Amino acid sequence: MSVAPLNQPLAVMPEPGGPQPSPLHVGLIMDGNRRWAKARGLPRALGHKAGVDAVRRTVQAAADSGIGWLTLFAFSSENWQRSADEVRDLTGLLRIYLRREVGTLAKNGVRLRVIGERHRFGPETVAAIEAAEAETAGNTRLNLTVALSYGARAEIAGAARSLAAEVAAGRLAPDAINEAMLARHLATQDMPDPDLIIRTSGEQRLSNFLLWQAAYAEFVFLDVLWPDFEAAHLDQALAEYRRRVRRFGVGSS
């Protein structure tokens, strides 16, 4: 897959055990829309709509905090198993978001990029995604990546298939394959690995999100449903991250 280069230099790994700066790349698992709606006796669709409002707030807060990369887990490959009505509501909200927000993203210096199996959303949505990516391609303040119909295991399997094809064609020796080479075949090939992954709703799992890339990420789990997520919650997670000591496997001594 050919991916245009991003607009900021890759992260430099901090010294193990040294002072912890703010994270350059934050991944966010947005969880709790349906529970938010159920708790209020509202239709699921209104929970997802409130979740879109939280996305708007969070993108602005991330840009204001100086975060260079923000990756949002918006729709997993497993979400296709939900009811047809809910999938239709989610895809409709996606198209509305792209139409209404792309101007604001461009104005605020945010570059939008989508990873995942975008073709599964149909030609109308794919066209809206491509238009939004093109309109924001020159922005440098914040690289916003939205994971849609994304699953990390499928991503890794796809990278393995690409490398296997190179071997089968005689263009690559099997013993030449290493971690860096596999990473270059992932959807995030031109991005730094996430420093921090946040999950809302109180759940404490990755749910097939950036499994390869999160090998040395810090995790913060917040007991707040996604539609209620505010800039203050992002600040809370960032403060917790700064208190951590990242050792990258070198030990505690």
Q: H helices of 140-217, where?
A: 152-168, 179-183
pLDDT at site 19:
53
pLDDT at site 4:
41
Asked if 128 contacts 112 with a C-beta cutoff of 8 angstroms, the reply is no
pLDDT at site 152:
97
Read off the amino acid at residue 232.
Answer: A
Q: Is 111 assigned a ligand-binding role in the annotation?
A: no
Q: Is 80 assigned a ligand-binding role in the annotation?
A: yes
Burial class, 170, CB count within 10 angstroms (exposed 0-12 / middle 13-18 / buried 19+): exposed
Classify residue 168: in a domain, yes or no: yes
Report the domain count for the chain: 1
Classify residue 36: in a domain, yes or no: yes
Confidence check: pLDDT of 242 > 90 = yes
Classify residue 219: in a domain, yes or no: yes
Residues 138-152: pLDDT tens digits? 999 999 999 999 999
Which residue numbers are catalytic? 31, 79
Classify residue 4: in a domain, yes or no: no
Q: Is 161 assigned a ligand-binding role in the annotation?
A: no
Q: Which residue has the higher pLDDT, 168 or 15?
A: 168
> What is the C-alpha to C-alpha distance for residues 3 and 18, in angstroms, rounded to an integer?
33
Classify residue 253: in a domain, yes or no: no
Classify residue 66: in a domain, yes or no: yes
Q: Is 76 assigned a ligand-binding role in the annotation?
A: yes
Domain holding 160, by residue range, is: 25-243
Q: Is 190 assigned a ligand-binding role in the annotation?
A: no
Q: Which residue has the higher pLDDT, 162 or 253?
A: 162
Which pair of structure tokens corresponds to residue 159? Answer: 């990278």
Total Cβ atoms within 10 A of residue 132: 22
Task: Give the bridge partners for 197, in sequence order.
Answer: 27, 219
Residues 98-154: pLDDT tens digits? 888 999 999 999 999 999 999 999 999 999 999 999 999 999 999 999 999 999 999
Q: Is 32 assigned a ligand-binding role in the annotation?
A: yes
Which pair of structure tokens corresponds to residue 13? Answer: 């790994």
Comparing 17-31, 94-108, 109-123, 222-236, the range with the smallest average pLDDT is: 17-31
Classify residue 250: in a domain, yes or no: no
Residues near 17 by beta carbon (within 8 Å), at least 6 away in sequence: 245, 246, 247, 250
Classify residue 10: in a domain, yes or no: no
Q: Is 57 assigned a ligand-binding role in the annotation?
A: no
Determine phi and psi for 226, rounding to 5 degrees: -55, -45
Which pair of structure tokens corresponds to residue 41? Answer: 């006796």
Read off the pLDDT of each residue in 170-192 and give the average, rounded to a whole number. 96
CATH assignment at residue 175: 3.40.1180.10
